[in-house]
Structure 1
Amino acid sequence: MSSAQSTIDRRPPSVAHLFLSRVEATPNGEAYRFPVPVDEHAADGAPGAEQWRSLTWAQTAERVTAVAAGLMSLGIGPEDRVALSSSTRMDWIVADLGNMCAGAATTTVYPSTNAEETAFILANSASRAMFAENAAQLAKVVARREELPELRTVILFDAPKGDEETGGLEVLSLAELEQRGAAHLAEHPDAVTKAVEALDREQLATLIYTSGTTGRPKGVRLVHDCWAYEGVAQQESGLLRSDDVQFMWLPLSHVFGKTLISGQIATGHVMAVDGRVDRIIHNLPVIRPTMMASAPRIFEKVYNGIAGKARAQGGAKYKIFLWAAKVARDYARTTQANRIATGQNTAPLGLTIQHTIADKLVYAKIRAAFGGRMRGAVSGSAALAPEIGYFFAGAGVPVLEGYGLTETSAGSTVNREEDYRVGTVGQPLPGTEVRIAEDGEILLKGPGVMRGYHNLPEQTEEVLEADGWFHTGDIGELDGGFLRITDRKKDMFKTSGGKYVAPSEVEGKFKAVCPFVSNILVIGNGRNYCTALIGLDEAVIMPWAAEHGLAGKSYAEVVASPEVNQLIEGFVQRLNGELQRWQTIKKFTLLPRDLDIEHGELTPSLKIKRPVVERTYADAVTEMYAGTVEA
């Protein structure tokens, strides 16, 4: 048995155990950083200014135990559900750890979820209390109060003003809950310690409702052992290190963000927490992270932004960027191939010299924009276009793709910094098994796999075998121990000519060749040919439009213009040159606005809800197939 495997086998029963052990081991070590507003009356402050504040592990534990004891004072007991609806911020982590240390189970809710679905999640989970970011989240449950008989208390992160409608609910501020907890601990000083000691590894820790691309969300039951395993496995894999500074901006209501909290507690590294997406670019040089996790869309936007800026500068600078981008990809491909063949990260002398020159001219600036210390960026939740991956690898910011689902506590496989392969999602974490079924479906087994869907035994049986193998619904293959995802089983379609098409493969290739694209949906199930609905990146296309006689036009007018359609037509033709005949895009429609969460077209983790998009733009799809005879 390997040392890593033996450590996995010796994992504690819960993250609460991990947390208290971490506090005991490094009480004065820095645990978290987070931004706080600067008092506008302070000598060095100004309205709107902010500064970063730190918490040690001991200081974090003081808040967490107060929250846990506060929940106990409300009558919250083992496995009672406590919902959490907030953007990513320090309070989210404190509340979640407080839940787990009290023995309760966290029901995560995206703050962008509408009132109807929020009520469904709270009712389905029978949540008794709720942490809510602000009055807007409180208003959602008040509006559906009659549907939530179990809900008794709402704890607000942003202190209530006092004039909020409460619908008969007890409303506290987080500070008030912590004060109640301190009073409870004064009478019962070992209450939280005993609650943690009593935790069983098979006890429910979290209900995460799949945002789902179709139908009602399902509550995924993740027990304490899932998170304890994830923490230790991330540590043992070397994905996270004790000296890391990780930038956490991902939504913690999503399993991807939440699993990284477990890894951070296991390793004890510093985590900088700020979920404001519009502050990412600003925060990177301030935080100077060594590690960051993201959905692929962020890397695509960064690449498009770099390319767009170079194009706007024109002339020699744009040519230099195009040359450097090609060198980065060539260098990354070559060194990866040599690493696989010989174990040496080498490239021919000529290419190495070109890479060194390009590094000084272009790549160093890219690394500086990421803070200058990024040893790796983890990408998950959707496929990253390989050409984007090769570019960042060649530029010195390797994007380490990983794979997992809500049903597997997110972390199942991941590329490691010392041996990563672009185009794959890496190797299994210690303790996780992967196999490929006869039909190509990826099956996973390990402690991170869910214990079932909440109150849905039949749907659980459809995906979870009695011996623990979970059916992911994804198609893939293993190559030298590295997993490659080829498509979603349910998303693959067959044309009327009998040819199978993996839409995500075509979509990924288009994102690699077209710097203006934001989202693309390939259509063709049962049709004579493939078409596409394309949303453009407003931040990139609008500057181009202004330079090409379309200044002053709205986004909708720009994408409807002949100039932009001709521009995108050129990229579609480039794409088609890389595809099999039956995969090629014969027609496309540029959408009058990009896809978004607000219109229900994207999940909170930015996956496209294909049925929703096809229904919304049914007329456009019909038009693209007008005049054809279906087989």
Structure 2
Amino acid sequence: MREYSVPVLVDVPASANCADTVFTRGEQEPDAVVISRGDGGAWVPVTAAAFRDQVAGVAKGLIDAGVRPGDRVALMSRTRYEWTVADYAIWAAGGVGVPIYETSSADQVNWIVSDSGATAVIVETEAHEKVVTRAVAGLPDKPSIWCVDGGAFSRLTAGGADVPEETLKERRTSRSGRDLATIIYTSGTTGRPKGCRLTHDNLLFTARNVATGPLEALFEQDDRAALLFLPLAHSFARLIQVVLVETGTVLAHTPNMKNVAPDLAAFRPTFLLGVPRVFEKVYNAAEQKAAAGGGLKSAIFHRAVATAIAWSKAESSGGAGAGLRLRRALYDRLVYAKLRAATGGRLTAAVSGGSALGERLGHFFRGAGIEVFEGWGLTETSAPSTVNIPGANKIGTVGKPFPGVTIGVAGDGEVLVKGRHVFDGYWNNDEATAEAVDADGWFHTGDVGELDSDGYLRITGRKKELIVTAAGKNVAPGPLEDRIRAHPLVSQAMVVGDDRPYVAALVTLDPEALGQWKNANGRQGASLAELASDPAVVAAVQSAVDEANTLVSKAEQVKKFVILDTDFTEESGHLTPSLKVKRNLVVRDFGKDIDNLYAVDTRA
């Protein structure tokens, strides 16, 4: 087995817990701004002392309400300031946070609350309260429900006013690294979600070694600030939240994804966390805006793209020549500066995870002055296990292991992981834990990948998602899907072909991109069903498929595709909250469309 390790950089004390920094910084740097709250279009600074006091007030209220050390407290909300307050208050009270996606159904809420044994649930809105009330109606031990928009924080703070400071300190300091910090339920592309037990040490070891090691440069500048808009119910955003609190980076939240663009411009972050779909949309929006401006603007944009990619590739192999540097300087004034201005003008770096960004976009953004560092990991590994770093960003890979992590690649290509960041097992599921972690301590990720000679990891697919055609050809759908999805008109793509004569794909269209396309092509009144069979749209998707097919051998290429007249969304049940396609449900619901792709087989 091929292995690569990076030595530990920060040895977190066994006594440390996630709430410590909030209280120590509140005492040592009381006037330091640590959070910026969005309030009616303005950004209101929150000092370390004010944040500590609000966390302490809610924590005392939870203690007064009966939350005991080790009790699970569920949290159902969008990404907002109150989530962070509640998260740290639960830890300060000695509790265990159990995040729930705010889009979850009553059945999903019922499973998480009942399986975790949550004694209380903090919800954001009255609508969430109704969902949770319905979800827990049949449980023998109903949890308390606290609604943030209904004044929960004020009531909790008032109720805990008589709880002595000594009691809060005793609760907070009773938790150590080995104690459970959170149970994060996997998104569940198949079957019931499993609860991942993550300890305080898991989270702190990861956060401190990432922030002090590979990504240290991002957190060194005095005016560092980050905007969070991914769901804090997901391990990726949750870990970044811990990193930001640990480093004293000013944290802001965007509860509504539709507000990301104006919030970027107004808040002006220096650092951003995203998933590939976010960066794809930024690029596609810029491309469509250029196309709408006419032939000259479109031509300038595409020359700027080519220049950015060429400059980035040259930087990876010795540096750009004089001519390329001059062209980049020209397009920086014409194109790149406008792109950076749209993000507030201070953003120079971002971290992307969740799936593959793709080399083309990675090179484009670096060439345009916003370097995207891809990382990789799973909920079971406290989110990241590898990440690219400033000054050594190998685009197309997910980077090297962060300090304290060992990556192995087994004989069948499966990626294995060791380190203090690996979870404590699945909640109430010892059988699944035994299947995931072997006798030698290796966590079997289920991802397939390659380690190069420098220790950089490249993920090539998922073991369970490998397609085996009728001819016995193994096909990894991920790279094909990522490349097809990168097209501006495409929302989702799912490659099929198990036990079939050839590889095919289901494709859905992006409603936002279609609006601009219809205006530009005189098709304003066309329905989604009409556009799915429109020759111009079909030709555009064919070009995306052709581009994807250049990545693979002839036997692995997509031979046919169908454009569906609907999209895969979280609301439709076909995407997880972290935007992964639930393949089994797509196959179930679109089985006829798949069968039709093979109804007349003229391809030998």
Smaller-chain TM-score bracket: over 0.9
Q: Does 1:158 align with 2:149?
A: yes
| Equivalence map 1:25-424=2 (5 Å) | 25-37=28-40, 50-159=41-150, 173-184=152-163, 188-239=164-215, 240-242=218-220, 243=222, 244-338=224-318, 346-424=319-397
Write the deviation string for residues 191-214 of structure 1: whole angstroms up to 9, x where unpaired: 111112211211111011111110
Offset at residue 261 of structure 1 (A): 1.6
Contact in 2 for aligned 1:12/1:18 (Cα 8 Å)? no
SS state at 1:190 partner: helix
Offset at residue 418 of structure 1 (A): 2.1
Counterpart CA distance in 2 for 1:121 and 1:131 is 13
User: Aligned in 2, Cα 1:289/1:133: closer, same or farther, shift over 3 Å?
Assistant: same
Instruction: Give 1:227's aligned amino acid.
Output: L
Instruction: Give 2:416's aligned amino acid.
Output: L
Offset at residue 147 of structure 1 (A): 2.9
Offset at residue 575 of structure 1 (A): 3.4
| Equivalence map 1:447-596=2 (5 Å) | 447-479=420-452, 480-512=454-486, 514-596=487-569
Instruction: Give 2:157's aligned amino acid.
Output: E
Q: Does 1:21 align with 2:24?
A: yes
SS state at 2:161 partner: helix
Offset at residue 394 of structure 1 (A): 1.0
Q: Point out where structure 2 has 5 or more consecutive residues left out of the alignment.
A: none
Contact in 2 for aligned 1:296/1:384 (Cα 8 Å)? yes
Write the deviation string for residues 435-484 of structure 1: whole angstroms up to 9, x where unpaired: 11111111111121111111100011001124432111001111212111
Cross-structure match for 1:166: none
SS state at 1:592 partner: coil
Report the aligned-residue RMSD.
1.9
Counterpart CA distance in 2 for 1:542 and 1:189 is 57
Offset at residue 4 of structure 1 (A): 8.1
Contact in 2 for aligned 1:31/1:271 (Cα 8 Å)? yes
Contact in 2 for aligned 1:68/1:192 (Cα 8 Å)? yes
Contact in 2 for aligned 1:34/1:274 (Cα 8 Å)? no
Cross-structure match for 1:623: 596
Counterpart CA distance in 2 for 1:542 and 1:586 is 28
Counterpart CA distance in 2 for 1:59 and 1:34 is 12
Contact in 2 for aligned 1:33/1:54 (Cα 8 Å)? yes
Deviates further, 285-294 or 134-143: 134-143
Bigger RCO (CA 8 Å, 6+ sep): 2
Deviates further, 215-224 or 466-475: 466-475
Offset at residue 11 of structure 1 (A): 6.8
Offset at residue 3 of structure 1 (A): 13
Counterpart CA distance in 2 for 1:143 and 1:130 is 13
User: Aligned in 2, Cα 1:230/1:623: closer, same or farther, shift over 3 Å?
Assistant: same
Cross-structure match for 2:414: 441
Contact in 1 for aligned 2:470/2:498 (Cα 8 Å)? yes
Contact in 1 for aligned 2:353/2:375 (Cα 8 Å)? yes
Instruction: Give 1:63's aligned amino acid.
Output: Q
Instruction: Give 2:27's aligned amino acid.
Output: E
Percent identity of the aligned residues? 38
Offset at residue 510 of structure 1 (A): 2.4
User: Aligned in 2, Cα 1:604/1:62: closer, same or farther, shift over 3 Å?
Assistant: same
Counterpart CA distance in 1 for 2:110 and 2:443 is 29
Instruction: Give 1:219's aligned amino acid.
Output: G
SS state at 2:560 partner: strand
Counting matched residue pairs gives 595
Offset at residue 17 of structure 1 (A): 2.0
Write the deviation string for residues 291-311 of structure 1: whole angstroms up to 9, x where unpaired: 010111100111111111111
User: Aligned in 2, Cα 1:621/1:376: closer, same or farther, shift over 3 Å?
Assistant: same
Instruction: Give 2:586's aligned amino acid.
Output: V
Counterpart CA distance in 2 for 1:232 and 1:201 is 13
Contact in 2 for aligned 1:246/1:292 (Cα 8 Å)? yes
- TM-score for the superposition, normalised by structure 1: 0.91
Counterpart CA distance in 2 for 1:11 and 1:258 is 21
Cross-structure match for 1:8: 11
User: Aligned in 2, Cα 1:291/1:579: closer, same or farther, shift over 3 Å?
Assistant: same
Offset at residue 13 of structure 1 (A): 2.2
User: Aligned in 2, Cα 1:574/1:475: closer, same or farther, shift over 3 Å?
Assistant: closer
